Amino acid sequence: MDNMSLIGMMNSIVPITRFNKGEANKIFEEVENSGMKIVMKNNRPACVLLSPMQYDNLLEMLSDSIMYAEAEKRMAANDDSETISHKALLEELGITEADLADVDVDIE
């Protein structure tokens, strides 16, 4: 469901009175099945309901965005005169390409 469309947004609105009528379980099922819900109280958004997976995805996207901004900042501040080549670094550390061949590294 495209929650960014007008119809998607309208379908996501839940009046607080539905909670007051004891429909919380049904609303939570709707969140799991069709996505977020915007709870309205006094004709104003009071909160947004998300599934735990959607919430985790949003937090991960936020974290990625923060890391990307930090990387961009560091790249802009990088002084190329202080960098050395990969080959020069290996020589400085006394490491050969063969030494690295059997090293298994996981990067996230």
pLDDT in tens, 9-61: 788 899 999 998 999 999 999 999 888 999 999 999 999 999 999 999 999 99
Residues in the chain: 108
Residue 77 lies in a domain: yes
**Is there a domain that residue 11 lies in?**
yes
Q: What is the CATH number of the domain that holds 22?
A: 3.40.1620
Q: Which domain holds residue 71?
A: 54-95
Beta strand 13-15 with 37-41 is parallel
* 87 and 75 both lie in a single domain: yes
Domain check: are 35 and 11 in the same one? yes
Residue 103 lies in a domain: no
* DSSP states of 49-88: E--HHHHHHHHHHHHHHHHHHHHHHHHHH--GGG---HHH
Residues 39 and 58 in one domain: no
Domain count, the chain: 2
Other CB atoms within 10 A of residue 37 CB: 20
pTM of the model: 0.60
